[in-house]
Chains A and B, each alone.
Chain A
Amino acid sequence: MRKTLMIMVVWLIAGAMTTVYGAGVVKIGQLTPLSGNAAAAGEHEKAAGALAVEIINNKHPELSNLPLAATAGLPNLGGAKLEVVVVDHQGNPSVGQTLTLRLINQDHVVAIEGSYHSSVTFAATAVAERYGIPFVVGDSVAANITQRGFKYTFRVTPIAPTFGQNYMEFLNDMKKAGHSVSTVGVVHENTDYGTSVGEEVAKAATSHGYNVVADIAYNASTTDVSAQVLQLKEKNPDVIIFISYTQDTILYMKTMKSLNYKPKMVIGDDAGFNDPSFIPAVGAITQGVISRSAWAVGKPGSTTYRINEMYKKLTGKPMDDPSARCMEAFFVMADAINRAGSTNPDAIRKALVETNMNSSQVMTGYKGVKFDSSGQNELAATYLIQLQGSDYVTVWPTDRALAPVIWPYKGWQ
């Protein structure tokens, strides 16, 4: 009897606390892979989301160029604090769908950010659309996500056609600098991300007059890639572009070394190449590899530098590109909720449509944030970075470069 009474009292107090606490809280959802083959990336994105919310919920006058950083909470909602409900989709689209339902129906979130894997985002956005909950895509780049006429899907990150275009412009610049480049090999993992980006890259290469001599699809959880590397070696393209996740990227780089194969240049399409595990694992044998990134740490004292320091304090690791793009999405989402001045999903959607941020208000290399009619950020852009020593440095476009490009690819030496 006594025990039952105590449980009831605790239950009542807990209930009362949620009600009081609940008044000043706006719940948002984050869909990310915390287990499965991209768990490392998911952990980092979770930290990035937490950091964005920390900056928004507390006063950070030193970061005042970012939306909502200088004030505490959401001023237009009486200083309400953001609370993130993080769920783990395991890299599985159907789990992603189920969890999106859960976020909407059980947690009653007002907006969702997600979800690293393009395949999961593709499935999850369809659920959010059905329930009329805004879904802000931080870092999934498959083109088809914003090609379905959805009203509640907004994508902040640049997408596959932009990257394909950027890589070819970079190669054109290299040709102008006197390096011979005529053939390209595309190696991509075989889910939505790899397939769609691979297709766009191959398309861009052909339209710029490059000959795509190898186009290899593979499964990212494969245990051996030596046959593929031998295939590449035989076809010998001047430049190889990898669209790969983490474990497979590491395996490819190690196998290329063990089979002694070095093309003139290796370009990695972000993801695995920007995973914090990449440099410690294979940095020494991939000198000169090019990757894309919308994130650059910048000079000491700058906003990006400060964010990097805060992120390092939180995770022990420097900020990486997917996490930075994910964090950017949180700012965009929070800014819209604040401007909406309400937690009504339709009001938030309307505010997202009206989003207009310039390049000084973003933490990434985007020229700003402004959504076109499909929900894609038309001001999104990327830098190219090159691994020189133990760090990536920005090398392209030339006006943003911090160091000249090293050509050809050095690998291990």
Chain B
Amino acid sequence: MIVIQVIVEGLLLGGVYALFSSGLTLIWGMMNFVNFAHGEFVMLGMFAAFLTMTWVAGGPVLFTIVAAASLFVLGVVVYFALIRYVLDGPIIGQILSTFGLALFLRYAAFFVFSANFVTLPDTYLSGTENVLGIYVSIPKLVGGVVGVLLTIGLHLLLTRTAVGSRILAVAENRDAAMLMGIRPDRMQALAWGLSAALTGVAGAMIAMYYPISYGVGESLALIAFVVVSLGGFGSVPGALLAGILIGVIESLSAYYFGPAFKDVVVYALFVAILWVRPQGLLGTA
């Protein structure tokens, strides 16, 4: 029984991992660009949810929309103010630009919100359901389901719609896409906005059960990178699969070997899988 509970916890955790990793993989797939400020986007999504709850009340639907919308704007602004200028620069410039952005956002949040931890007040989604003896935390379940749905939605958007095709066309060959009448700047700004908005939703979901502070992005970003490289950089279904896989492995190894060793198991498997499939589970070589 307890093993089933451990697996359920792992699945719920994995859904959320998938959710906050899909934004990262989108940016990579779009423009071979690693966003090191990704964890800070999650953190800002959490604070957006928190501020909505404390200033205007409302519920999870409202604060999730606010988090998504504000992060969308942030993503677009970051693209036009920063990314556009470093895209054609050397790779080290690209890396340092988002790394600098991460530090800027982290310590700006520190300045505004101080170092104290805050938590989201309870909503109608708070609490736990007992399903046949298995405890299911509602916020985690909602987070996991939203994660899976949004990841699938994003995949469909990219593969089944005209906008998606344009985004992918720019990713494939910027110059050719431009010749076909696509404006790469718009598409890439849209990709940044979408990625940030997804990350904002992830932040709002996580905020329902995780303490919020300026430094939270640090703990979360590492997992996002592992999920994305395991799933295959640029692959949205890969992020989903890898997220759930890592969630379950983490829970099981924390239960059987002790929490201090769970990272050892996760990273050992990670290295082993990349050894066999360097492009990641669902990535293309």
Taking a contact as CB atoms closer than 8 A, the residue among B252, B259, B260 that contacts A225 in the complex is B259
B6–A219 touching, CB < 8 Å: no
Contact B260 A230 (CB under 8 A): no
Given A35-B215, A228-B259, A231-B255, verify A223-B115 contact (CB < 8 Å). Answer: no
B6 & A42 in contact (Cβ 8 Å cutoff): no
B260 in contact with A190 (CB, 8 Å): yes
Q: With the chains together, A230 CA to B38 CA distance in Å? A: 31
Chain A residues with Cβ under 8 A from B218's Cβ? Answer: 221
Report the nearest A residue to B218, measured CB to CB: A221
B127 proximity list for chain A (CB < 8 A): 258
A181 at the interface (CB under 8 A from B): no
Question: Which of B9, B127, B210, B252 lies at the interface centre, i.e. has the most chain A CB atoms within 10 A of its CB?
Answer: B9
Which residues in A have their C-beta under 8 angstroms from that of B262? 227
On chain A, the residues within 8 Å of B5 by CB distance are 230, 259
List the B side residues contacting A251 at CB < 8 Å: 210-211
Find out whether the CB atom of A259 lies under 8 angstroms from the CB atom of B128: yes
A36 adjacent to chain B (CB < 8 Å): yes
A43 / chain B contacts, CB cutoff of 8 Å: 114-116
The answer to the question of A39 belonging to the interface, with a C-beta cut-off of 8 Å to chain B, is yes
The answer to whether A39 touches B215, judged by C-beta atoms less than 8 angstroms apart, is yes
Chain A CB within 8 A of B146 CB: no
A115 to B184 CA separation, bound complex (whole angstroms): 52
**Residues in chain B near residue A258, CB distance under 8 A:** 127-128, 135, 137, 140, 209
Q: Is A257 an interface residue (CB 8 A)?
A: yes
Contacting pair A227 B251 (CB below 8 A) = yes
Q: Which residues of B contact A39 (CB under 8 A)?
A: 110, 115, 213-215
Q: Are A227 and B115 in contact (CB under 8 A)?
A: no
Which residue in chain A gives the minimum CB-CB distance to B130?
A260
Cβ of A277 and Cβ of B116 under 8 Å apart? yes
Contact, CB under 8 Å: A221 / B219? yes
**A43 CA to B218 CA in the complex, in Å?**
19
* Residues of B close to A300: CB separation below 8 A: none
CA distance A133 to B252 in the complex (A): 49
Residue in A217, A260, A277, A280 with the greatest tally of chain B CB atoms within 10 Å: A277
In contact, B119 and A250 (Cβ under 8 angstroms): yes
- Indicate if the CB atoms of A257 and B260 lie closer than 8 Å: no
Contacts of A36 in B (CB 8 A): 215
Whether A216 and B117, one on each chain, are in contact in the complex, defined by CB atoms closer than 8 angstroms, is: no
B51 contacts the other chain (Cβ, under 8 Å)?
Answer: no
Is residue A126 contacting chain B, with contact meaning CB distance below 8 A?
no
Measured in the bound complex, the distance between the Cα atoms of B135 and A372 in whole Å is 52
Complex interface: chain A residues within 8 A of B137 (CB): 258-259
Question: Are A227 and B255 CB-contacts (below 8 A) given A251-B210, A260-B135?
Answer: yes
On chain A, the residues within 8 Å of B260 by CB distance are 190, 217-219
A224–B254 alpha-carbon span in the complex (Å): 10
- Residues A224 and B258 in contact in the complex (CB < 8 Å), given A250-B119, A254-B209, A281-B119: no
Knowing A217-B260, A260-B128 touch, does A224 contact B219 (C-beta < 8 A)? no
Chain B residue numbers with a CB within 8 Å of A269 are none
A-B contact pairs, 10 of them (CB 8 A): A223-B220, A224-B9, A226-B251, A227-B9, A227-B251, A250-B119, A254-B119, A259-B135, A277-B118, A277-B211
Known: A254-B209, A277-B117, A281-B117. 12 other contacts (CB 8 A): A39-B215, A218-B258, A221-B218, A227-B254, A231-B255, A247-B211, A247-B213, A251-B210, A254-B119, A259-B137, A280-B119, A281-B119
Task: Report A's interface with B, CB cutoff 8 A.
Answer: 34-37, 39-40, 42-43, 190, 216-219, 221-228, 230-231, 233-234, 246-247, 250-251, 254, 257-260, 275-277, 280-282
Chain B interface residues (CB < 8 Å from chain A): 2, 5-6, 9, 13, 107, 110, 114-119, 127-128, 130, 135, 137, 140, 209-211, 213-216, 218-220, 223, 250-252, 254-255, 258-260, 262-263
